[in-house]
């Protein structure tokens, strides 16, 4: 059995030397507390499930035979998995992250996080609705549009996760034991 994995958050510090005039940046690594490491791993799980969903949509775009409806149900299950992972993750952030942001930063920051969470949930719901229409037996919806929605969701989630991991988690790690 391996030891506990240490996750680190990286941040850069711009420095100027008053003595020699050197200017540059240095990178520092700060260990993340276990609760933030769990949240970060959830980000990875969501992105992995999203990539599996995108592969499934792409594969279904290539096949238009009788197996298409069956593989469509697999695609919808991937989408449901992404939705569940997102909802579970957001509940965990409400429990761990938001109280610290509220207390030590301000409610505007936590409101912004909640607004982004709502956007992500709505994107998953739109995608699920599109996939349900696309993979009905009498399909009249564009499969390309389903892939575009999945791709848009992936970009939205990746940008949100990047902001959380590079800014919010670092800030919250200052206040967690």
Please, what are the domains in the chain? 34-173 (1.20.120.520)
- pLDDT 10s digits, 10-21: 444 344 444 344
- pLDDT 10s digits, 44-97: 999 999 999 999 888 877 665 545 555 678 888 999 999 999 999 999 999 999
- pLDDT 10s digits, 131-173: 888 776 555 456 678 888 899 999 999 999 999 998 899 888 8
Integer CA distances (angstroms), 48 to 43, 102, 135, in order: 9, 30, 22
Tell me which DSSP letter residue 66 carries: T
Tokens of 7: 């996750």
CB 76 within 8 A of CB 128: yes
CB 13 within 8 A of CB 28: yes
């Amino acid at each position: 059995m391996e030891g506990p994995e240490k996750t680190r958050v990286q941040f850069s510090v711009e420095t100027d030397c008053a003595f020699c005039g050197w200017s540059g940046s240095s990178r520092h690594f700060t260990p993340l507390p276990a609760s933030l490491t769990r949240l970060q791993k959830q980000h990875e799980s969501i992105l992995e499930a999203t990539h599996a969903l995108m592969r499934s949509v792409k594969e279904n775009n290539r096949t238009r035979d009788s197996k298409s409806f069956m593989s469509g149900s697999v695609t919808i299950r991937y989408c449901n998995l992404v939705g569940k992972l997102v909802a579970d993750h957001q509940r965990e952030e409400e429990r761990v992250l938001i109280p610290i942001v509220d207390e030590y930063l301000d409610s505007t920051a936590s409101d912004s996080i909640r607004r982004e969470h709502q956007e992500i949930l709505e994107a998953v719901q739109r995608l699920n609705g599109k996939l349900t229409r696309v993979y009905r037996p009498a399909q009249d919806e564009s499969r390309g549009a389903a892939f575009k929605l999945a791709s848009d969701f992936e970009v939205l989630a990746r940008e949100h996760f990047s902001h959380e991991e590079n800014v919010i988690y670092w800030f919250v790690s200052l206040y967690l034991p």
